[in-house]
Amino acid sequence: MSDQQILTVIFGSVGLFMILISLIIYVFGVAVKKRKCTAETTGKVVDKVQGSDNNLYPVIEYEAGGVIYRRKKNVTAHGSINNGYPIGYELIVLYDPEKPKRCLIGGTKIQTVAASIPAIIGLVFFTVGVVIFLF
């Protein structure tokens, strides 16, 4: 096998793997929640908690069916407690009426974009593999 073929296989494989990861994230992380989280309410940032990575994460409180839920949003607020989502900030929470703990905080656009990032990286790797193969 030539160096060109090895590089093509490596870049192409990494690219396809990243695209597959993106699809899995989207299907199991976003699409299921989009389908099941049909009820909408307003959530409010009530606290910030420090994660194991020493970043601050906003805690969102929302009401569903007369019960108040608190969820940590997986968006970091680096540095000061006022960075990111400030305390008191309101945002949309989509939740599953049958399991109100299952929710999408901030709607579905951010989750869809986050799920597509590995696909974009994978597409770049796959394209590099094709270019190496052709030249």
Domain map of the chain by residue range? 1-37+108-130, 38-101
Contact 75, 84 (CB under 8 A): yes
Contact 123, 116 (CB under 8 A): no
* Residue 32 exposure: Cα atoms within 13 Å on the Cβ side: 8
Report helix, strand or coil for 89.
Answer: coil
Q: Higher model confidence: residue 10 or residue 81?
A: 10
43-54: average pLDDT:
86
Spatial distance between the Cα atoms of 128 and 82, rounded to a whole number of angstroms:
41
Spatial distance between the Cα atoms of 37 and 33, rounded to a whole number of angstroms:
5
Spatial distance between the Cα atoms of 11 and 22, rounded to a whole number of angstroms:
17
Greatest mean pLDDT among 9-13, 46-50, 81-85: 9-13
Indicate if the pLDDT at residue 12 is higher than 60.
yes
Both structure tokens of 86: 């400030």
Report helix, strand or coil for 9.
Answer: helix
H helices of 57-108, in order, are none
Query: What angle (nearest 5°) sits at the alpha carbon of residue 26, between those of residues 25 and 27?
Result: 95
- 28-43 pLDDT, tens digit per residue, is 877 877 788 899 999 9
Residue 15 CB-density burial (10 A; 0-12 exposed, 13-18 middle, 19+ buried)? buried
Gyration radius of the chain's alpha carbons: 20
